[in-house]
Amino acid sequence: MDKGLNFDEIIETIGSYGKYQKIQVALLCLPHIQAAAFMVISVLLLGVPDYRCQIPGYAADTYRIQNSTHLTMVDDYIPVSSDSTKDYDQCHIYTINDTGSNNNTFYGNRSTVECDKWVYSQTTFTETFVSKHDLVCSHGDTLSLTKMMYFVGVLVGSFTFGLIADRFGRKFSMCCALLILSTTSVGLSWAPNLPVYIVLRFLIGASTMGIVLTTFVLTLEMVGPRKRVRAVMVNGFFFAGGEVMLAALGYWLRDWQFIELICGGTVVFYLSYIWLVPESPRWLLNSGRIKDAEKVLKKIAEGNKKTECFKPILNYEEDKKQTGKIWHIFTSRVLLTRTLILFLNWCVISMTFYGLSMNAGNIGGDFYLNFLLLGLMDFPSTVLNLLLLNRVGRKRLHCTCMIVGGVSCLSTLFTTTYGGESLHTLTVILVLIGKLGAGSAFGSVYIMTSELYPTVVRNAGMGACSCFARFGSMVAPYVISAAADIEGTIGKVLPLIIFGSASIAAGLIALLLPETLNKDLPDTIEEAELFGTPEYDSMRKEASINKGFSMEMK
């Protein structure tokens, strides 16, 4: 190539987003189907069916009433639940000595004790990890921690596989993540107890994030700068496809082991075509592997039918190393304020996005239909971003999605409390609008964050915001679990109230951020502090005029 060209100039010469890159982007997006499934699969693996205590001495007891004699036994031994949404007391049983065989004992005088065996309804699930190991009542206190540990793994994986990708290459990091994911996800199908389950889910979370991270970076480094938003947004369709696939798989199988085994076993497919995916040419160039980079760039040129534009790299200008540090984003009042607003938004979006999927079983109606519809919402949210991000602006779209989605979640309080089953359809629609808002906000806040931070700390700022997103996803299981301890309708709608209130608050606070659409991005801390002000626009305009005048003089 010509002397002094940087990578973006090289890639623009041989095609910024031609046929070759589109094929590679498709191959890199395919693993996101599995990533989406593993993100929300705990809804199926750790699903809690309706249950009650097992009748003592009756090994053939089932949750389903078998006959009139069985019904009498259930009435004799199982107390009625004080929760109007449940048929039976789930954790207590009448003491045998106080139970009359003809069910004539005065119910108010009978004492109860906690039981240690349960029977489960098989209407929604044939078997889950919870029902297999009786992780209910006092044994179910660790379920929220179990769900959270997956997202702890995601947090650890983002750092670990990021370091591996920078040191040994993006493709090597992706291969490692795929190998770990394929073995741990299949192994989870035979987890003998809860500690093993937690460890494997932690590793699955770490490796899933490694795949998402490396495929995302490879996508960015394979296309030209003007096409990156479009290429990255394509991931959203594959992610939504993964959620839809999982809903269909869960409905078909209804057994946690088979669901996990199929999801884990199919990861091998992505390893089968890994040889078709090249290493990042940008990483190769910055690592001094010029000849290897030339081979990849030549393939891109050939695939885009621009072979005549390819020439050997005579002098490559290595990407300038960023000199900023993470603490630089806290050095001024302006950057600190924006950072705290972004932290809050990332945290709330992640909590709401994953929390709504985890809460699919609490909104009433058919569980699998709810789960399917929530997954389908990621398709229109991606389309919404593609159509409107460059038209109405990043901030306006983001705040609108947050506020509208939040109001929709809050509105379920009225449809559930006052309408009940008669307004169930409207309740589901409101929840779907909430998921649509959270999904769209995820895409808009990512673009907005990358444009608000200056070049010298952009990666550090994005990484810090991503960490807070993981904290939000860790909180979601606890929100749902806490609500489950509250009896009645309020307990079912409480997570939606929390998600909705937080989304509205975060969306309103985000109005304080400057718009970034069609703005020259800041490069230094000083420019970032002025970003969004008339002074910044004047400064960038003057710099552009001076640059043009300088080029004319040459």
Looking at the structure, do residues 412 and 504 belong to the same domain, yes or no?
A: yes
Strands 118-120 and 51-53: antiparallel
pLDDT of residue 262: 96
Task: Tell me, yes or no, whether 359 lies in a domain.
Answer: yes
Q: Which segment, 122-131, 305-314, 472-481, 532-541, is predicted with the most confidence on average? A: 122-131
Burial class (CB in 10 A: 0-12, 13-18, 19+), 97: exposed
pLDDT of 105 > 60? The answer is no
Domain boundary residue, one of 266, 295, 320: 320
- pLDDT band (50, 70, 90) for residue 541: low
| Comparison of pLDDT for 374 and 314, the residue scoring more | 374
> Model confidence over 463-492: pLDDT tens digits?
788 888 989 999 999 888 877 777 667 778
pLDDT at 176 over 80: yes
Return the higher-pLDDT residue of 443 and 503.
503
Instruction: Report residue 323's pLDDT band, with 50, 70 and 90 as the boundaries.
Output: low
Backbone angles phi, psi at 127, to 5 degrees: -160, 140
Q: Clarify whether residues 438 and 516 are in a common domain.
A: yes
How many CB atoms sit inside 10 A of residue 545's CB? Answer: 10
- Cα gap 183→158, rounded to integer Å: 19
Q: What is the pLDDT of residues 275-290, one digit of tens each?
A: 999 998 888 887 888 8
> Rounded to the nearest 5°, which phi and psi values hold at 263?
-60, -40
291 vs 325, residue with greater confidence = 291
Which tens digit of pLDDT belongs to each residue from 348-403?
A: 999 999 999 988 888 878 999 999 999 999 999 999 998 998 889 899 999 999 99
- pLDDT for the residue 6: 67
Average confidence score pLDDT of the chain: 86
What is the reported pLDDT for 99?
Answer: 45
138: its two tokens: 């006092």
Mean pLDDT over residues 157-167, rounded? 86
105 with 20, same domain: the answer is: no
Q: What is the pLDDT of residues 229-287, one digit of tens each?
A: 778 788 889 999 999 999 999 999 999 999 999 999 999 999 999 999 999 888 888 78
> How many domains does the chain contain in total?
3
Does residue 36 sit within a domain? Answer: no
The pLDDT tens digits of the residues spanning 46-61 come to 999 999 999 998 889 9
Judge whether 483 lies within some domain. yes
Residue 226: the pLDDT is 76
DSSP state of 341: H
User: Does residue 178 fall inside a structural domain?
Assistant: yes
In the chain, what percentage of residues exceed pLDDT 70? 90
pLDDT of residue 330: 83
Residue 20 lies in a domain: yes
Q: Which one is predicted more confidently, 363 or 189?
A: 189
Residues 362 and 511 in one domain: yes
> Do the domain assignments include residue 55?
yes
Structure tokens at 125: 């699930």
The confidence score (pLDDT) of residue 383 equals 92
Task: Please indicate, yes or no, whether residues 107 and 197 belong to a single structural domain of this protein.
Answer: no
- For tokens 């700022």, the residue is 461
Which of 448, 449, 352, 466 is closest to 403 using CA atoms? 352
- Tell me the CATH number at 259: 1.20.1250.20
First to last CA, the chain: 22
Shared-domain flag, residues 193 and 289: yes
Instruction: Kindly state whether residue 241 falls inside one of the protein's structural domains.
Output: yes
Whether 333 and 316 map to the same domain: the answer is no
Query: Are residues 138 and 101 located together in one domain of the fold?
Result: no
The boundaries of the domain holding residue 2 are: 1-31+133-320
| 211 and 276 inside one domain | yes
Same domain as 334, residue 307: no
Which sign, positive or negative, has the C-alpha torsion 469, 471, 477, 483? negative
Q: Does 303 share its domain with 440?
A: no
The residues pairing with 112 across neighbouring beta strands, listed in sequence order, are: 94
Q: Looking at 267, 301, 320, which one is the last position of a domain?
A: 320
Q: Note whether 218 and 278 are same-domain residues.
A: yes
CB 189 within 8 A of CB 259: no
pLDDT score of 550: 46
Show the CA angle centred on residue 194, arms to residues 190 and 195, nearest 5°: 100
Query: Residue 178 and residue 268: Cα distance in Å, rounded?
Result: 8
Query: Could you read off the pLDDT of 411-439 as tens digits, one per residue?
Result: 999 988 887 778 889 999 999 999 999 99
Instruction: Indicate the range of 17-21, 78-82, 110-114, 223-227 predicted with least confidence.
Output: 223-227
Last residue of a domain, one of 320, 353, 371: 320
- If you average pLDDT over residues 500-515, what whole number do you get? 95
